Amino acid sequence: MTTKLLRRLLMCGVAVAGLGLAAPAFAQNRTFDLPAQSAVKSIPQFAQQAGIQIMAPADALAGIRTPALKGSLERQQALKQLLKGTRLVVASDDGHTVVLKVGDVAPAPAKVAPASVPAADPVDDVATEVVVTGFRSSLGRAQDIKRRAVGTQDSIVADDIAAFPDLNLAESLQRVAGVAITRDAGEGRQISLRGLGPDFTRTQLNGMEVLGNTSSGFDNRGSVSRTRSFDYSLFASELFNRVTVEKSYAAEQDEGGIGGTIGLRTARPFDYKGFKAVVSAKAQSNSNTDTVTPRIVGLISNRWSTSAGELGALLSVASSENDVNEYGYRNWNWTKINVNAANIGPGVSAADALRLSTATGMDRISAPQAATYSTWYDHRKRLGITGALQYRPNDRVEMSLDLLYGKLSNDRNEYSMTNAGVNALTGDVKGTQKLQEAVIQGDTLVYAKWTGVDTRSEAKHSYDETAFTQAVYTASYQVTDALSFKGLLGYSKSEFVEPIFDKVFLQSVNRGVSYDFRSGNPGKNTYDFDITNAANWGLMRADAREDYIMSEYKTAKIDGRYDFSPAHTVKFGIEYKDFGNEGWQRYQRVDWYNKPVVPNAVTKVFDYKTLAPYVVADVDATFAVTGQLRDLTGANDQAGTNFQLSEKTTSAYAQYDLDTTVSGMALRANAGVRYYSTDLTSAGTLATNNGLVPAVIKSHYDGILPALNIALSLTPDMIVRLGANRNISRPSLGDLKAAGSVSFTPFGGSVSAGNPNLHPFLADSIEASWEYYMGRKGYVSLGVFHKKMDSFITSETASVPYGSTGYPLSLVGPGQDANTIYSFSRPVNGAGATIQGAELAIQRDFDFLPAPFDKLGFTGNVTYATGETDAKVDGVTYTFDLSNLSKWSSNATIYYETATWGARISSAYRSGYLDGIGGNGNIGSGFQATNNVDFAAHYNVTPALKIVVEGLNLTNEPIDQYTDRYSQRSTSYTKSGRTFTVGATYEF
């Protein structure tokens, strides 16, 4: 199926879903989930779940307890069961508003929820399961959660995550309106929300903020990610039974996350009625590899009633392996060059030769730095283990302990065939190279044929792993029917280690090479020698590197709630968070090409997929021959990478909640204020005229964050939401470092410095949305948002002589001096930025169609966002789209589901976006648009046994990266193949 045909099919689904909005509404069952509790709590919760208004005399609910209510029931029948045994009766019911009064029924003793019926979670108001009856059911439950929220939010519940074809949590999240993801090695990695990049999204796991970092095998995508951007590739999606995307901010939420908050929740034993066991096994393969790898999931849970109360225990495990072969074409970058007149042959026109040899500044021609064939092979292992204990001694006290361990490892081999070496094509041409033919389009050298070039092949072997651990203890206590408290103690730690990062470079000197971008991507190289003949290659260089990152959170908080009446509630709380981050990068390089004695490298022609085969070094065997140091120490620290950050934050909030009716319309609202105070300590090394010296810089910032959210039900099925708030996002970790880093290349280099005195991003936001619900058959929602950010952090970049940076000359590359031009960048607080946009979401079962088409359904969304900021490049101020902002993102799924089988096909589109401000004469850098297509089908052999077939990235969508927003010069173009799985799930 072509991408164009699929898009048309999905658009037809949108149109049919729109027709379904006009389908007549009938009385429908609702899903209720209420514990035995005071009527002060149960009546408002019932009203929310039933989608109606309930009015009662102010003192009528005092002292009354209602029984547990769970299941799919018609609304009037459910209300009858809820009021059974109490003195409350229905005085009137017009289908929209119910009025209660005190009747003649004598009050009966309240019944405690039986062991088989779980009470509602203290935080989450809907219980979920890892395996549910179907995709429709999970959509319905997510819809219920969205409907009952006061602010704007979206949720994914069990079946969306556990059964949809997602390799990790990032890919599950891309189904939510406003969420777009970055990809690496065939999987999702980080997310952007409503056009704001990963650093603007806060991640909570089981109620506490967390951070976890991994790495990319690809330098163009950031390599090791020492940022505030949570790497969602850490976790298998099966570990979670609910994800909530909170787009609105309320004072009761932690500060941070201007884009929004992603709340992750692992399963607990009280989520299930009793004993529960599930096992799932899948075989996975990729079109770029010839291997089959396992994906195994298991869960066991139980709960018991004892004389001391109710106990529950749960254990789940998710383990997987997969092989990824991503390959294609890339450039280190593009740079402005000059070619000496003596290095230009007669085949180049006089006009082009003059331009290449005499142009200055930005009038120079841009040429690729080391146009490269590249291949990455990654054997990835992912292990996740969750455990949970719950104890409820009575209906007023509950305690939970949630434990999680996750481990992600990557064993990578990377190979490149580059136009690099001693006399390389990596900058100005003044060696033995000679340009024989050239084609210039605009100011870009899109085709060139050279002689006298030293060519290089690269082989890298790396191994890294991230271990994530978390323990969270929560306790809730219902002191009286009106007063309750909840406390949390949490600890999390993410530790990334990369003990192996070894590279060996081979060189073949004085060769003829060419590169050609005239036909678009991927580019094409040609060589005048046999690149698969080991006799043509000799050892040039060997590098060893190690990386380490540790992030740690310690959290303690207590929240209180006082219900003055069913309509009026005050919430309050205090919190302490201690965040620490430390890390380093160590590096050693040995150059062999200028040595009197050069060891013989051990070589091979690798057997992974590539645009062309070529000779590379056997890394381990060659390191054994050279005897080079591989176990590095602190003496090998890269300048600017060894730094430590400590953030200690104390916060407090007060919030008023309203749940009432106005002119017969349900009105829910919250208004509050949060105060935060953060002490930052940044320690590292700073460069001075006297060399590198240790430094410790301390800073402090605080603030007050007001928030208001309103949800008004114009009718029982139509809700209008309004929100206004102020929030912050803390600066990126690298921006706060009390350190600087220097890197060099044959043509120059770059200096990057931190700024520990940065103020956080500060944003004032307003938003509004309209939602219409069609029972549990679907909904349509339309929302708009606007954010105005002050003190927006941006980069300032300039090309300057190295000597003016203040860094010691000992850090420059071979043959360089104080006059060598370096790109110098540092973060600064800019004037600000704005972002605004709109979201449209539609979900609809096509039950109004004649059979068999009534089993069809559609869910989809589209988001538009725009925002700009200013940044300096080479001393000139430019206006850029915000980093990682895609103006358009959309998701669409067409599904067909019966009692025995079902299938669905999904598309996730993201328009192009910028990821940096550029440099080396390029204005901006970014990624082209992507559209990823996935498929899943299942068959229920028995009620307990389900067979699943899945396909991911069916169109083998490329990752297309470029530099310069005007010329869009290609820096990488790679494909990772199609992934297929087949397996079975059995529920005991």
Are the beta carbons of 512 and 450 closer than 8 angstroms? Answer: yes
DSSP letter, residue 134: -
* Mean pLDDT computed over 191-219: 87
Average pLDDT, the chain: 86
Question: Residue 806's pLDDT is what?
Answer: 64
Q: What is the pLDDT of residue 12?
A: 40
* 606 pLDDT higher than 90: yes
Distance CA 646, CA 698 (A): 9
The Cα 450–Cα 453 span in angstroms is 7
Distance CA 477, CA 561 (A): 10
Q: 871 pLDDT exceeds 90?
A: no
* pTM for this predicted structure: 0.83
pLDDT of 402 over the 50 cut: yes
pLDDT band for 222, please (50, 70, 90 cuts): low
* CA–CA distance, 771 with 782 (Å, rounded to integer): 7
CA distance 341 to 351: 12
Task: Identify any residues that bridge with 718 across adjacent strands, giving them in sequence order.
Answer: 715, 772
Q: Which is nearest to 560 in space by CA: 653, 486, 507?
A: 486
Residue 485's pLDDT band, with cuts at 50, 70 and 90, is very high
Q: Of the segments 10-19, 24-33, 275-284, 645-654, which one has the largest average pLDDT value?
A: 645-654
Residue 129's pLDDT band, with cuts at 50, 70 and 90, is very low
Pick 9 or 295 by higher pLDDT: 295
pLDDT of residue 913: 93
Q: Tell me the average pLDDT across 429-443.
A: 94
Indicate if the pLDDT at residue 575 is higher than 80: yes
Q: Mean pLDDT lowest for which of 147-161, 384-398, 474-488?
A: 147-161
pLDDT value for 119: 32
Q: CB–CB of 935/904 below 8 Å? A: yes
**Lowest pLDDT segment from 54-58, 201-205, 852-856:** 54-58
933 or 224: which leads in pLDDT: 933
Query: What pLDDT is recorded for position 53?
Result: 74
User: Can you say how many angstroms the Cα of residue 116 is from the centroid of all Cα atoms in its chain?
Assistant: 37
For residue 19, pLDDT beyond 70: no
For residue range 446-472, list pLDDT tens digits in order.
Answer: 999 999 999 999 999 999 999 999 999
- Render 499-560 in DSSP notation, one character per residue: EEEEEEEEEEEEEEEEEE-TT-SSPEEEESS-TT-GGG-EEEEEEEEEEEEEEEEEEEEEEE
pLDDT for 510 equals 93
- Tell me the helices (H) and strands (E) count for the chain, helix number first: 8, 51
Q: What is the mean pLDDT of residues 96-112?
A: 56
Q: At what angle do helices 39-50 and 135-148 cross, to 10 degrees?
A: 120
What sign does the dihedral 368-369-371-376 (CA atoms) show? negative
HEC sequence for 283-344:
EEEECCCCCEEEEEEEEEEEEEEECCEEEEEEEEEEEEEEEEEEEEEECCEEEEECECHHHE
Tell me the average pLDDT across 893-908.
Answer: 93
Arithmetic mean of pLDDT, 498-505: 95
Band of residue 20 on the pLDDT scale cut at 50, 70, 90: very low
Give the tokens for residue 390.
Answer: 């719950």
Say yes or no to pLDDT of 160 above 50.
Answer: no
What integer pLDDT is reported at residue 6 of this predicted model? 42
pLDDT of residue 124: 38
Compute the average pLDDT of residues 750-760: 81
Q: Which residue has the tokens 């460069």?
A: 687
> pLDDT by residue (tens digit) across 33-89?
888 887 878 888 888 788 777 877 656 676 688 888 877 778 888 888 898 878 888
pLDDT of residue 22: 41
In this predicted structure, what is the pLDDT of residue 594? Answer: 76
Asked if residue 373 has pLDDT above 90, the reply is: yes
H or E stretch covering 46: helix 39-50
Burial of 678 (0-12, 13-18, 19+ CB in 10 A): buried
Q: Which pLDDT tens digit goes with each residue over 512-543?
A: 999 999 988 899 999 999 999 999 999 999 99
Residue 392 pLDDT greater than 90, yes or no: yes
Write out pLDDT tens, residues 955-970. 999 999 999 999 999 9
Tell me the pLDDT tens digit for each residue of 627-665.
888 899 988 988 778 899 999 999 999 999 999 999 989
Q: Return the structure tokens found at 850.
A: 């004649």
Q: How many CA atoms lie within 13 A of 951 on its CB side?
A: 15
3-state secondary structure at position 854: helix
Look at residue 808 in the predicted model and tell me its pLDDT.
67
Which band of pLDDT confidence, cut at 50, 70 and 90, is reported for residue 617? very high
Contact between 772 and 737 under an 8 Å Cβ cutoff? The reply is no
Per-residue pLDDT, 286? 94
The one-letter code for the residue type at 613 is P
DSSP 686-722: EEETTEEEEEEEEEEEEEEEEEEEEEEEEETTEEEEE
Residues 789, 869: Cα–Cα separation, whole Å: 10
Res. 845: pLDDT tops 50: yes
Percent of the residues in the chain that have a pLDDT greater than 90, as a whole number: 57
Residue 214 is predicted with a pLDDT of: 85
The tally of CA atoms less than 13 A away on the side-chain side of residue 452 is 13
Nearest to 825 by CA among 925, 748, 755, 760: 755
Encoding tokens for residue 464?
A: 């890294």
Peptide bond connecting 107 to the previous residue in cis, omega within 30 degrees of 0: no
510 against 161, higher pLDDT? 510
